Amino acid sequence: MSLQQVLQRPDVWRGSHSPETPTIATGIVALDALLPGGGWPANALTDVVLAREGIGELRLLLPAIAHLSRGDRWIAFIAPPYIPYAPALAAAGVDLSRLLLVHPRGRAEHLWAIETSLRAGACAAVLGWVQDVTAAHLRRWQLAAEAGGALGVLFQRQNIPHSPAALRLQLAPADGTALALTILKRRGGWPVGPVRLELDHAVAVPAAAGFSARDMQPRRAAG
């Protein structure tokens, strides 16, 4: 492999320069300005480390989800901790007919569902909530997202320092409806943050569109 071919690989960091990769606008001006290409890395994996679930993390993805749901592919939510509140999603412009909710039975099925959804090519976006995964899992899912042309976003509490995801974020609650966002890893740039994001001003959707106990219905166990 030539040096030029190596430099064109998306997983090779080149300081302030990186090969152009497709992106999907976040719809949040302050966040787009921080991300290479001005948006979520398309056909790739984004790893989001949460202080806890239910801090409004879904609102970061709503504009992109709404845009992608207007296509002919699915938007998959895999093992969400709460049942998404349909009226809030619809108010944000999400086409509910393109939404899939997947509640795996057991860990093996959970891991399989994420990889299969990313790789199959039938999903424009796959959002998965995971626990106790390794860098090896993330590497498989990154390759699956590339193969399936999907926007993959994983929400988890653990911070995997050597995650192969194209983008790594850390989210924590701030006062009011704001989030404190830290960019742990981005292609072609240094880490950034924490940065305060005022989501109610950045995203023109109801506050109920985030995951929270106030806005969502707890998922009942099957059986």
DSSP structure string for 34-45: TSGGGSEETTEE
Which pLDDT band holds residue 56 (cuts at 50, 70, 90)? confident
Beta bridge pairs of residue 78? 102, 128
What values do phi and psi take at 85, rounded to 5? -85, 105
Residues 1-47: pLDDT tens digits?
Answer: 554 444 444 444 444 444 457 899 998 888 898 898 899 999 999 99
Q: Hunting for tokens 């071919």 — which residue is that?
A: 5
* Tokens of residue 166, six digits: 């194209």
- Whether 215 has a pLDDT exceeding 50, the answer reads no
Higher pLDDT, 208 or 60: 60
CATH architecture, range 21-205 = 3-Layer(aba) Sandwich (3.40)
Percent of the chain predicted with pLDDT > 90: 49
Amino acid identity at 15 = G
What is the pairing mode between strands 82-83 and 217-218? Answer: antiparallel
Amino acid identity at 214 = R
- Whether 158 has a pLDDT exceeding 60, the answer reads yes
Residues in the chain: 223
Q: How far apart are CA 106 and CA 181, in angstroms?
A: 31
Secondary structure string (H, E, C) spanning 47-94: EEEECCCCCCHHHHCHHHHHHHCCCCCEEEEECCCEECCHHHHHHCCC
Confidence at residue 126, expressed as pLDDT on a 0 to 100 scale: 98
- Whether 52 has a pLDDT exceeding 90, the answer reads no
pTM: 0.79
The residue extents of the domains of the chain are 21-205
| Residue 106 neighbours by CB under 8 Å, 6+ apart | none
Q: How far apart are CA 128 and CA 160, in angstroms?
A: 16
Which pLDDT band holds residue 57 (cuts at 50, 70, 90)? confident
Q: How far apart are CA 160 and CA 130, in angstroms?
A: 13
Q: What is the mean pLDDT of residues 161-168?
A: 88
